[in-house]
Amino acid sequence: MSEHHPPVSPLLDRCPEALPASSYFDPDWYAREERAIWRRNWVHVGRLDDIPAGTMRRVQVGGQNLILCRDRDGQVTAFHNTCRHRGAELCSAAEKPLGKLITCPYHNWAYDLSGRLVSTAFATPTPDFRKEEHGLFPVHTRDWNGFLFVCLDDAPPELRPDMGLKALDNWPMDRLKTGHRLVKELDCNWKIFWENYNECLHCPGIHPELCDMVPIYKRGVMAANEASGWVPDAPKQPVLKDGAQTWTMTGAPCGPEFAGLTAEERANGFNFVTIYPTMFVVAHVDYVRSVTVTPLGPERTRLTAEWLFAGETLAQPGFDAGNVAEFATLVLDQDGAACEMNQRGLRSEKYQGGRLMPQEFDILKFHDWVRAQMESA
Ligand code: FES
Ligand code: FE
């Protein structure tokens, strides 16, 4: 038997200062974040399954232009989208077929799929030029539960989901297929989105439907141990409202429940895994959802939400993934509007930065993470 630790209250015993207002709009701060955060951490670039074999895809990460190459055997490599001759862009299309070579459209230098320069076409270099020193600039890639990540750092950090690498082990992640995708651009800094994600003080005012689904949210907290009057031995209450098993409009599962989940994972109704700065995953009993955060500028952020289903769920007669997505889309729209409202207000020249409340302990952790990243760069 493992030792029993009663849960403790995570509430802060003070009201710390939030990040400075300028960190949400200053172009210099943003440029530093690109270097210190977005080019040093693992960044999610899509489901591996959604890149067909034999495809080259252009992606932007941390302000850098990259290509993802998936060869005929399904292997993935990534490179800077830059030719070593005079620096032309190798792939200008969002996506195009990938053959055996990556050929620069400018003067036709050709590289193999490991990035090695194999031909300088019409150019005939002198012996002082060494082909082996002019391969493409490689970028690290990694697959985690079918999600493809890249890291621009030469020495990538460990991939660290907040609940550990095994967090989704009981879900059949590698078999899940993307059934629905929502892309949404917001007029706010990317950190505003993560702050909103990390607290539920806004839930009673912003999310009536979600508060109905998750009764504890009506009290402005994420879990019972944050609520006033909580005692460590209080009996556990069901997380979702009576009769609901998942986040759909009715609370009913959209297909067969995943077989391998523990009783606790099932009872939770939703299981969040956060991977800063790039994505979070919410695993339900019947489907999984991911939300990917992509900064487009100091005050512009793209969200890509994807709903993943087992084949047997997608194959049900009359199955409508858009219908399943309706509930979380509603919540995401509400959060998006709140984020934009936050961004507009903090632009006041009077506002220098706010204070975090005791319930905003997860925002403090996020801020501490951002500060540590910026300082260590
Ligand atoms: Fe690519 Fe010249 S810049 S071949
Ligand atoms: Fe919210």
Q: Considering the chain, what percentage of its residues have pLDDT values greater than 90? A: 90
Main-chain phi, psi angles of 327, to 5 degrees: -65, -55
How far apart, in whole angstroms, are the C-alpha atoms of residue 156 and residue 39?
Answer: 10
Q: What is the 3-state secondary structure (H, E, C) of 171-233?
A: CCHHHCEEEEEEEEEECCCHHHHHHHHCCCCCHHHHCHHHHHHCHHHHHCCCCHHHCCCCCCC
pTM of the model: 0.95
pLDDT in tens, 33-83: 999 999 999 999 999 999 999 999 999 999 999 999 999 999 999 999 999
Is 318 a residue whose pLDDT tops 50? yes
Residue 86 CB–ligand 1 contact under 6 Å? yes
The residue whose CB lies within 8 Å of the most ligand 1 atoms, and thus the one to mutate among 89, 109, 118, 129, is 109
Residue 91 CB–ligand 1 contact under 6 Å? no
> Please, what is the average pLDDT of the chain?
95
pLDDT in tens, 176-235: 999 999 999 999 999 999 999 999 999 999 999 999 999 999 999 888 888 888 888 887
In terms of Cα–Cα distance, which of 338, 349, 369 is closest to 41? 369
Distance in Å, CA 319 to ligand 2 centroid: 27
Is 258 a residue whose pLDDT tops 90? yes
Classify domain 10-25+171-377 at the CATH class level: alpha beta
Distance in Å, CA 291 to ligand 2 centroid: 13
- Superfamily of the domain at 40-170: Rieske [2Fe-2S] iron-sulphur domain (2.102.10.10)
| In contact, 45 and 152? CB cutoff 8 Å | no
How far apart, in whole angstroms, are the C-alpha atoms of residue 175 and residue 173?
Answer: 5
Distance in Å, CA 133 to ligand 1 centroid: 15
Domain map (residue ranges) of the chain: 10-25+171-377, 40-170
Residue 83 CB–ligand 1 contact under 6 Å? yes
